[in-house]
């Protein structure tokens, strides 16, 4: 069973590789990424490369490739800063990947990591029927990718499934160029005694999910049978929980972190992007299909303490 993960050296790709290997069945996992993995997952093949290069996917995908997890992307703030780069990576490379898959003898399962960023002009709480009207380049490129994946699936070129991921909290490692990067930083850094800066207001609400839950949902979505996905309905809002920045910091304190390490410097560009995203979702379809959310912010912080700091704590009191 051959599996290709684009952006596979990133933290989400590494966690996905680990989870796929833990499932058993001895999958052969090939990751393409511009960067080296921080900690390579044993048994995984890493191919350094730019997915925008012509033929980039020919080195990875072969007739026996069964599954593609397309995680590679230029993230939100970077796509906003560099329009052409975002279009090239998020749109053109996605299409090139779909074209490569189209030439496979059997349509592979194709998982496309989309995002809450597809919602811009929308009510604060969106549901499965809310139209995607993005207000940032990243969201536009993701919604176009969704439509391409849906169409290639309808044509029978792939067995495509698109998942709109919540903001992932707490990401390990260093801050990145996602506008939502602060949502991890304001917890991750203080939990390790480090200072950090919060660029948004304390009452900003976001839709979040732990890496562990996101990975479980991505794999669940991959494993669902083909007939779970109807044409025109191959895009799914994934479950999560709504938390405000203030609620995150309260959780930080309950977990023994010092919220005093967070200083405040509002950034209009970040606020404009993140502020246009949903505050929450009613994920009825996902629940019916068996996807699950974290319980609360304490559980999300607990995942970080356990998985990243090797520090299983007693459940803090709510």
Q: Which amino acids are annotated catalytic?
A: 138
- Distance from C-alpha of 207 to C-alpha of 288, rounded to nearest angstrom: 19
83 or 264, CB closer to its own copies?
83
> Could you tell me the smallest distance in angstroms from the CB atom of residue 292 to its own copies?
24
> Could you tell me the smallest distance in angstroms from the CB atom of residue 131 to its own copies?
4
Strand partners, 50: none
- Distance from C-alpha of 271 to C-alpha of 287, rounded to nearest angstrom: 30
* CA nearest to 170, candidates 214, 123, 122: 214
Residues in contact with its own copies by CB under 8 A are: 83, 120-121, 129-135, 137, 140, 143-144, 147-148, 150-151, 154-155, 230-233
The helix/strand/coil state of 79 is helix
129 or 203, CB closer to its own copies?
129
> In the structure encoding, which two tokens stand for residue 38, read together?
């921080």
Q: DSSP label at 203?
A: T
The helix/strand/coil state of 220 is helix
- Distance from C-alpha of 254 to C-alpha of 251, rounded to nearest angstrom: 5
Q: Output 307-316 pairs: Cβ under 8 A, ≥24 positions apart.
A: 307/172, 307/211, 307/212, 308/170, 308/172, 309/191, 309/192, 313/255, 313/256, 316/251, 316/254, 316/255
218 or 235, CB closer to its own copies?
235
> In the structure encoding, which two tokens stand for residue 84, read together?
């052409």
Q: DSSP label at 91?
A: I
At a CB cut-off of 8 Å and minimum separation 6, what does 145 contact?
Answer: 90, 91, 94, 112, 114, 162
> Could you tell me the smallest distance in angstroms from the CB atom of residue 234 to its own copies?
9
151 or 267, CB closer to its own copies?
151
134 or 239, CB closer to its own copies?
134
Asked, as a colleague might, if the bond just before 210 is cis with ω within 30 of 0, I would say no
87 or 261, CB closer to its own copies?
87
> Could you tell me the smallest distance in angstroms from the CB atom of residue 159 to its own copies?
17
CA atoms within 13 A on the CB side of 142: 33
């Amino acid at each position: 069973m051959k599996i290709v993960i684009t952006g596979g050296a990133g933290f989400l790709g590494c966690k996905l590789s680990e989870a796929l290997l833990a499932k058993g069945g001895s999958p052969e996992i090939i990751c393409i990424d511009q960067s080296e993995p921080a900690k390579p997952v044993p048994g995984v093949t890493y191919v350094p490369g730019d997915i925008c290069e012509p033929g980039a996917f020919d080195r990875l995908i072969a007739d026996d490739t069964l599954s593609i997890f397309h995680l590679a992307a230029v993230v939100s703030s970077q796509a906003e800063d560099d329009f052409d780069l975002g279009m090239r990576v998020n749109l053109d490379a996605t299409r090139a990947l779909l074209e490569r898959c189209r030439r496979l003898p059997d349509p592979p399962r194709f998982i496309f990591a989309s995002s809450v960023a597809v919602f811009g002009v929308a009510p604060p709480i969106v549901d499965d029927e809310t139209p995607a009207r993005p207000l940032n380049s990243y969201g536009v490129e993701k919604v176009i990718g969704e439509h391409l994946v849906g169409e290639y699936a309808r044509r029978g070129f792939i067995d495509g499934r698109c998942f709109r991921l919540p903001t992932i909290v707490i990401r390990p490692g260093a801050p990145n160029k996602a506008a939502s990067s602060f949502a991890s930083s304001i917890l991750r850094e203080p939990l390790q005694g480090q200072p950090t800066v919060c660029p948004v207001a304390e009452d900003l609400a976001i839709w979040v999910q732990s890496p562990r839950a996101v990975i479980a949902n991505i794999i669940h979505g991959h494993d669902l049978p083909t007939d779970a996905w109807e044409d025109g309905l191959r895009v799914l809002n994934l479950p999560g929980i709504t938390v405000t920045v203030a609620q995150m910091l309260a959780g930080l304190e309950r977990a023994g972190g010092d919220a005093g390490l967070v200083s405040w410097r509002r950034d209009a560009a970040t606020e404009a992007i993140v502020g246009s995203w949903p505050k929450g979702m009613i994920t009825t379809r996902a629940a019916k299909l068996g996807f699950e959310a974290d319980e609360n912010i304490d559980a999300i912080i607990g995942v970080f303490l356990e998985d990243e700091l090797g520090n299983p704590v007693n459940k803090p009191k709510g």
